[in-house]
Amino acid sequence: MTTSEKIARRLLEAGAVKLQPASPFTWASGLRSPIYCDNRVLLSYPSIRSEVIDGLEELAAGFSDIEGIAGVATAGIPHGALLADRLNLPFVYIRSKAKEHGRQNQIEGRVESGQRYLVVEDLISTGGSSLKAIDALKGAGGDIAGAVAIFSYEFPAAVRAFQLADVELSTISGYDKLLQEAAATGYISKEDAQALATWREDPRAWSEAFLTSGK
């Protein structure tokens, strides 16, 4: 079993990912989604947590001259800190926006000008929040070695966004592997697998179709 397959299975085992095509979740945008992913759940399972950091370390080895680790708030912080500890590298974390009180920091920790950071995120959807964090880190003087994440929905728009930003992205696992493992373990039926595959092609159209179906 590859690392990607193993982590996909662990996400399902821990309940970090839930697949419910017949009773979808509602995202903050109002869209209905047949998948919900919360990788913070993994922190409660020491053996899985260790496997995730093994996977992130494996990804990190593919980037050159990493001098620091930057976690994206909030869910990227613990996994980023654990990876930084494993690699014995400096760690900082990046908020979505600067605090409105105190020192009004957006980045916590010491960013050294010109230091190359590997950015750690837990989940890649559109890539927007990760790329905003990367812009903030660049603005503080940091260089970007690349970005890694535990899981990606593998939306084409996210792939394009990272390409346009000239940021290399690697993830331990992704949507295709998750569906493969969910089907192999009997977590979902063939019909559910088809619905989930259709959703990834066009989440908005899938959501609108679900709402108009009256379910």
Is residue 23 part of an annotated ligand binding site?
no
**Residue 95 among known ligand-binding residues:** yes
Whether 126 has a binding-site annotation, put simply, is yes
Beta bridge partners of 17: 37
**114 three-class SS:** coil
110 marked among binding-site residues: no
- What are the Cα distances from residue 74, in Å, to 96, 104, 123, 209? 9, 17, 11, 32
107-108 β-sheet, strand order: 107-108, 91-94, 68-72, 116-124, 143-152, 169-174
128 annotated among ligand-binding-site residues: yes
Q: Which candidate, 89, 90, 95, places its Cα nearest to that of 108? A: 95
CB pairs under 8 A, 24+ apart, for 40-43?
40/16, 40/75, 40/78, 40/122, 41/14, 41/15, 41/16, 42/10, 42/11, 42/14, 42/16, 42/150, 43/78, 43/79
| Residue 11 assigned to a binding site | no
Is 166 annotated as belonging to a binding site?
no
Q: Find out whether 38 is annotated in a ligand binding site.
A: no
Q: Is 127 known as a binding-site position?
A: yes
Is residue 113 a known part of a binding site? no
The structure tokens listed for 203 are 């989440």
Establish whether 123 is an annotated binding residue: yes
CA atoms in the 13 A half-sphere facing the CB of 117: 32
Was 190 annotated as part of a binding site? no
**Residues in binding site:** 95, 99, 101, 121-129
**Residues in binding site for orotate:** 125
**Residues in binding site for 5-phospho-alpha-D-ribose 1-diphosphate:** 95, 99, 101, 121-129
